[in-house]
Structure 1
């Protein structure tokens, strides 16, 4: 499906404590993102990176939450940017940055949709609040905040609460869920496919059930793809690796299946850390995933390589 795509980078690392995810957007770009999307006929514009602060107070006094002001300020900017992109009739493709940026993305998307569905592809549930978080890192809180749970500064991003309803969320690939998050998942009856569930059922079944489940309830689906959902043996450039994850092959199958979903309205890819990567493997494979989400196939990749070779020979 041909889309009008607007890329926006969010060079944020303060949702956690490992420097480097702020370099993720440029790392993904340098791995050939624009060329690949244009190669499959997409109408794509790169709107650059949001100008955001990269330093902040490490921890709020007396509260189990870090860098609140900087993250709220950046999330407000992202929410406005994403909202404008949708208003222009384009598809927001957001490049992170750590997963805290999802608060801004969802705040911008939910202004235009009454019932946003969210596919949270991640090793973690990211549903902590300051009361349940073992670290105070905000990249472990964006989904809870988007549901209206947690610190008021986070839940009110965009000027309103409740961007997404619990029954409109599907977790895929989870395998490192904190006790408070597990309790919330059970209380709110949030749909979850663990990494083991995916292995047992197969990715084709998981995606088919997910799309059907959300399509029956929602007027649009947002994909929030954290690359640490993939096993770190294949995706080493992440700050919070968790063993026994989904494979790259399974993940490629997932995005290819989602490419056919007509109600996919926005997407973000987060947590690429070039400083922890090996030979740019994580950035390059992330570009493969994004390309597949927008219709790239093995055949179209081969055509692009052939065209580049012919151009080089002509020069």
Structure 2
């Protein structure tokens, strides 16, 4: 899909495969996100990977199984960024960021990654209490462990938003200022504006940053954002150059579910993508 704008081309991508899935519902959800983005921008995404039964095993086995498709995703980002594209991406699971964020860091080292998620995802293979690949999704690009997919994201260029289910080793990194955190609350917009500081932005949205029940997700962590909160955050970020957007962790059992409310909440960002 192409949508020409001033500085580049909106490049829609759908990662359709399995990447650390506990179940098959994230792969269905990614199809719905991709369909909503295609309707919003008027075209069809490039599809990377294909659905297969979830393994629901430890991170090492999950990474080995997903690696060919994650490498394909990395190549896709490398090419589209080299061509001046602005990625807008539907993900199945947040672990796909192991492939996308190193390419963003390489091509746009000036950009800050704003990571909307109920979890910090900055555990390492040595600190993870669960062995879940998704819990290592941001720490790999930060270079805290070697995923085989690259790193290069500087800690000062990563801002967590809405994280509230945080393991002790992750909390220690946050407490010493290695990674910024903007908590859910009435001051979120102004604190987010301060944390970003007018820098270019790449947005990662894990749908479980939202209050449980707003949309279906694998994890239900109380104290999350509303769609109105997400819209206000999108308005703040739209004040900056938007380098790209990725949306993951929406679950669905069938195509009767819709991703439209999430995509609509992000509309200020998506308009900014067209201006980027």
Partner of residue 176, structure 1: 165
- Evaluate the alpha carbon distance shift between residue 208 and residue 77 of structure 1 in structure 2; reply closer, same or farther with a 3 A threshold: same
Distance in 2, matches of 1:166 and 1:254, equals 21
- Evaluate the alpha carbon distance shift between residue 54 and residue 166 of structure 1 in structure 2; reply closer, same or farther with a 3 A threshold: same
- Evaluate the alpha carbon distance shift between residue 230 and residue 53 of structure 1 in structure 2; reply closer, same or farther with a 3 A threshold: closer
Partner of residue 106, structure 1: 101
- 1:13-162 pair list within 5 angstroms: 13-30=18-35, 32-38=36-42, 45-52=43-50, 54=52, 59=57, 65-150=60-145, 152=146, 154=147, 156-157=148-149, 160=150, 162=151
Unaligned ranges ≥5, structure 1 = 39-44, 297-315
Deviation at 1:276, TM superposition (A): 8.5
Contact 1:14–1:55 (8 Å) recurs in 2:
no
Cα shift readout 1:38-63 (whole Å, capped 9, x = no counterpart): 4xxxxxx5333102573586546xxx
Distance in 2, matches of 1:24 and 1:5, equals 22
- 1:124-273 pair list within 5 angstroms: 124-150=119-145, 152=146, 154=147, 156-157=148-149, 160=150, 162-195=151-184, 199-201=185-187, 203-212=188-197, 215=199, 220-235=200-215, 237-262=216-241, 264-273=242-251
Cα shift readout 1:137-175 (whole Å, capped 9, x = no counterpart): 11111111111113x3x1x31xx4x32111211111011
* TM-score, normalised by the number of residues in structure 1: 0.77
* TM-score, normalised by the number of residues in structure 2: 0.87
Deviation at 1:33, TM superposition (A): 2.8
Distance in 2, matches of 1:136 and 1:66, equals 10
Larger of the two Rg values belongs to structure: 1
Contact 1:12–1:21 (8 Å) recurs in 2:
no
Count of aligned residue pairs for this structure pair: 267
Cα shift readout 1:156-215 (whole Å, capped 9, x = no counterpart): 31xx4x3211121111101100112112223453211122xxx142x3302321321x62
User: RMSD over aligned Cα, in angstroms?
Assistant: 2.5
Distance in 2, matches of 1:77 and 1:95, equals 15
- Evaluate the alpha carbon distance shift between residue 181 and residue 24 of structure 1 in structure 2; reply closer, same or farther with a 3 A threshold: same
Distance in 1, matches of 2:39 and 2:45, equals 15
Structure ranking higher in helix proportion: 1
Unaligned ranges ≥5, structure 2 = none
Partner of residue 10, structure 2: 5
The DSSP-based 3-state class of the residue aligned with 1:171 is strand
The DSSP-based 3-state class of the residue aligned with 1:223 is strand
